[in-house]
């Protein structure tokens, strides 16, 4: 059972990360589209669907499967898991900001520059590198 749940966890992680890396790219392009243009309306649909159909469910499955693995494998006393949880909580917080920005774009109320989204785009990547090293290498 443990190995099957781990496979599910990794599938969910890949889907979550794919969305978390692509959504800020859409924000970058959306900044260039004029408010009210056809292009801008298309980006709104793409962003909403990516968030609702991929990113949100993938995050829930990642957390549920991860919690099962931590409980079943009795990892809760391992320091690497504590560090991983901190980074996973930060990643979930970034996810929360992404949801808010999807709503802001949908209401034509984006407040940030293209450069801002380019920088933000790197945050999920950096968190992912840290999380994968922690869980695979288990340095402490």
Residues that bind ligand HEM (CB under 6 A): 6, 9-10, 13, 17, 62-63, 66-67, 69-70, 73, 75, 88, 91, 128, 131-132, 135-136
Which C-beta is closer to ligand HEM: that of 71 or that of 112?
A: 71
Q: Kindly report the CA angle at 44 between 38 and 47, in degrees rounded to 5?
A: 140
Which C-beta is closer to ligand HEM: that of 70 or that of 106?
A: 70
User: What is the rounded CA–CA span in Å between residue 130 and residue 116?
Assistant: 22
CB of 98 to ligand HEM, least distance (A): 14
CB of 22 to ligand HEM, least distance (A): 15
Which C-beta is closer to ligand HEM: that of 13 or that of 55?
A: 13
User: What is the rounded CA–CA span in Å between residue 79 and residue 135?
Assistant: 11
Contacts of 68 (CB under 8 A, 6+ apart): 5
Which C-beta is closer to ligand HEM: that of 37 or that of 125?
A: 125
- CB distance 73 to 2 below 8 Å: yes
Question: If you count them, how many residues does the chain have?
Answer: 140
User: What is the rounded CA–CA span in Å between residue 136 and residue 10?
Assistant: 12
User: What is the rounded CA–CA span in Å between residue 54 and residue 132?
Assistant: 21
CB of 40 to ligand HEM, least distance (A): 31
Which C-beta is closer to ligand HEM: that of 77 or that of 111?
A: 77
CB of 46 to ligand HEM, least distance (A): 23
CB of 68 to ligand HEM, least distance (A): 8
């Amino acid at each position: 059972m443990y190995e099957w749940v781990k496979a599910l966890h990794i599938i969910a992680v890949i889907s979550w990360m794919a969305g978390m890396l692509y959504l800020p790219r859409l924000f970058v392009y959306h900044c260039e589209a004029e408010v009210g243009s056809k292009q801008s309306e298309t980006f709104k649909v793409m962003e909403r669907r990516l968030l609702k159909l991929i990113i949100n469910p993938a995050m829930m499955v990642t957390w549920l499967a991860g919690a099962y693995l931590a409980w079943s494998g009795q990892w809760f006393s391992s320091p690497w898991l504590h560090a991983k949880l901190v980074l996973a909580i930060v990643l979930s917080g970034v996810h929360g900001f992404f949801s808010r920005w999807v709503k802001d774009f949908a209401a034509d109320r984006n407040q940030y520059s293209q450069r801002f989204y380019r920088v933000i785009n790197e945050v999920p990547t950096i968190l992912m590198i840290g999380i994968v090293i922690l869980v695979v290498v288990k340095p402490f």
